[in-house]
Structure 1
Amino acid sequence: MPTPPLLHVDRRQEDVRTVLVLAGAMDLHSVHVFTAAMAAALRSGATAVHVDLSAVAFCDCSGLNALLEAAQDSRAQGRTFQARAPSTAVLRLFTLTGTTGILLDRAPRAVGAAVGAPAGADEAAAKRFEDRSAAPPL
């Protein structure tokens, strides 16, 4: 019998935005739960998707990549994407990887200083993310 994923997603509507509330662990074995919920939100015609990360206890690079892809896909379709209320663990991951400026509305400065992120790292990462083009075929 398969083990249930350790990530739960609740979806709610707030005016014109769809809010996905994540709880649990966002890793290689559970990230598909988020990607399915995100795809469903975009298929439903949501003009804005906000992802509440306050109850995410763990997030690895699979979860981070899924969030970055969701942001890129949403914005490519002319929709708003925003991660909100990251837990301490998620905020630390965003800060260490320089992705707070890409995923959050505003980058928390105090946390970046606490983990030694250089000033402007988030802005540089955001620029690289926005400027990246499709990788050439292999």
Structure 2
Amino acid sequence: MQTPPLLHVDRRQEETRTVIVLAGAMDRDSVPVFTAAMAEVSRAGAAAVHVDLSAVAFCDCGGLTALLTAAQDSRTEGRKFQAHAPSPAVLRLFTLTGTVGILLGPGFRTSGPDETAARRFEDRSPAPPV
């Protein structure tokens, strides 16, 4: 018996955009649920897609890759892509991987220890003494 994916996708059309609300875990087993929703958005010819990540409790590299691919494909097809309201776990992943600006936009601001850790990783500067 196959276990159902742990990712719930709710898609709705608003006036000028399609909104996809994700809830649960984005991992290699559940990514096809998200990519199927993005394929529907593409087929429908949506001008903009906004992805709400506030209820995503876990996201691994498979989920991150799916989001980055969706963003790139959307922009290639002339559609605006914007991720919104990342959960703390998702924001931490985006911060540590340097993908905040790509997925959340250049104006999104992070703060706190994860931002410092990400900056240290990017700069390869040594950790402060303890």
Task: Say whether the fold is shared (TM-score over 0.5).
Answer: yes
| Secondary structure of the structure 2 residue equivalent to 1:86 | coil
1:108 partner letter:
R
Structure number with larger C-alpha Rg: 2
Structure 1: distance between partners of 2:112 and 2:51: 20
1:116 partner letter:
A
2:69 partner letter:
E
2:109 partner letter:
P
Structure 2: distance between partners of 1:104 and 1:2: 34
Q: Measured at CA, do residues 3 and 43 of structure 1 come closer, stay the same or move farther in structure 2, by a change above 3 Å?
A: same
C-alpha distance after superposition, 1:78-115 (max 9, x if no partner):
11000000000000000000000000033323147644
| Secondary structure of the structure 1 residue equivalent to 2:90 | helix
Q: Which moved more, 1:105-114 or 1:19-28?
A: 105-114
Q: Tell me if the contact between 1:25 and 1:57 (Cα under 8 Å) persists in the aligned partners.
A: yes
1:41 partner letter:
V
Q: Measured at CA, do residues 116 and 23 of structure 1 come closer, stay the same or move farther in structure 2, by a change above 3 Å?
A: same
Q: Tell me if the contact between 2:95 and 2:114 (Cα under 8 Å) persists in the aligned partners.
A: no
Number of aligned pairs? 120
Structure 2's unaligned 5+ residue stretches are 123-130
Instruction: Spell out the pairing of 1:1-138 with structure 2 (5 A cutoff).
Output: 1-105=1-105, 106-111=107-112, 114-118=115-119
Q: TM-score, normalised by structure 2?
A: 0.86
2:117 partner letter:
G
Q: RMSD between aligned alpha carbons?
A: 1.6
Structure 2: distance between partners of 1:46 and 1:55: 23
C-alpha distance after superposition, 1:32-64 (max 9, x if no partner):
000000111111010000000000000000000
Q: Tell me if the contact between 1:26 and 1:59 (Cα under 8 Å) persists in the aligned partners.
A: yes
Q: Measured at CA, do residues 111 and 12 of structure 1 come closer, stay the same or move farther in structure 2, by a change above 3 Å?
A: farther
Structure 2: distance between partners of 1:17 and 1:44: 11
Q: Which moved more, 1:38-47 or 1:106-115?
A: 106-115
Structure 1's unaligned 5+ residue stretches are 122-138
C-alpha distance after superposition, 1:15-48 (max 9, x if no partner):
1200000000000110100000011111101000
